[in-house]
Structure 1
Amino acid sequence: MLIPYQQLDSATLDNLIEAFVLREGTDYGELEMALAEKVSQIRQQIKAGQVVIVYSELHESVDLLTKQQWQTRLSEQDPDS
Structure 2
Amino acid sequence: MEIPHSQLSYEALRAIIEEFISREGSNYGPIEYSLEEKVGHVMQQLDRGEVVVNFDAASETCNLISTR
Return the structure number with greater relative CO, CA threshold 8 A, min gap 6.
2
Does the alignment reach a TM-score above 0.5? yes
TM-score (norm 2): 0.92
> Counterpart in 2 of 1:11?
11
- Among all aligned residue pairs of Structure 1 and Structure 2, give the percentage whose two residues are the same amino acid: 38
The equivalent of 2:30 in structure 1 is 30
Gaps of 5+ in 2: none
- Equivalent residue number for residue 55 of structure 2: 55
Q: Which residue of 2 aligns with 1:44?
A: 44
Cα RMSD between the aligned structures? Answer: 0.9
Give the structure-1-normalised TM-score: 0.78
- What SS does structure 2 have at the residue aligned with 1:32? coil
Runs of 4+ that moved beyond 3 A: none
The amino acid across from 2:57 in the alignment is E
Q: What code does the residue aligned with 1:23 have?
A: R
